[in-house]
Amino acid sequence: MKITRRSFIKLIPAVALVVAGGAWWSLAETASRTTTVSQATPTTATTSTGFEFPVTWDGDQPSTINSNDYRLKIDGDVSNPLELNLEELYAMTGVQKILTIQCVRGWEADVPWEGIPLSYLLKQAGSSPNSIAQVTISAITGYSTTLSSDEVADLDNMIALKVGGAPLTIDHGYPARLVAPSRPGEDWVKYVSRITCTNN
């Protein structure tokens, strides 16, 4: 694992904003978009709005991602398995929160994320909060992490689609990544493509 560190930005504390349901940002920002991963030496990544924070590279990233082909699958012990495209994800109720990402390499950053609470996604798939034993979040690349039922219920844990007021860059996990502030940054799975629920 290789990382280049820079001074990170600390934001003025803000109150979490719950955004109304519906299309909560313009789909034009991501329509028909193919994103290519840079092969350059990793460094601090900047969003299209100018916000930046460090990136830890682990060599586990896809070479290209086409937004038209992307699907997020939610399956396992659920009564209504889902396969959602980006348009369907954007249409769901979202939240905006400033949450801290901490890296085991010693840096941390307070970052404005926008996404969908994990518990909400599982509810749409017909999962019962009382029966969940664990949930596995997997990336397009196969990398994964597993959360407990208590972590799933925590509304700070979300599938983020935006950061710093703009869609995720490939460096930060486009098109979707896990945000789990109680976990180290290495558990914040990028390029999320599957959420698998396991019941007791």
Q: Which of 162, 136, 163, 132 is nearest to 147 (CA)?
A: 136
Q: Indicate the pTM of the whole model.
A: 0.73
Question: What is the chain's pLDDT, residue by residue, as a tens digit (200 residues)?
Answer: 333 333 333 333 333 333 333 334 433 333 333 333 333 233 344 554 455 666 665 556 777 788 899 999 999 999 999 999 999 998 987 899 988 777 766 667 787 889 999 999 999 999 987 889 999 999 999 999 999 999 999 999 999 999 888 888 888 889 999 999 989 888 889 999 999 999 98
Residues 162 and 176: their CA atoms lie apart, in Å, by 8
Assigned CATH topology for domain 66-200? Sulfite Oxidase; Chain A, domain 2 (3.90.420)
DSSP secondary structure code for residue 7 in this structure = P
For residues 50 and 163, give the distance between their C-alpha atoms in angstroms, rounded to a whole number. 11
Which residue type is seen at 56? Answer: T
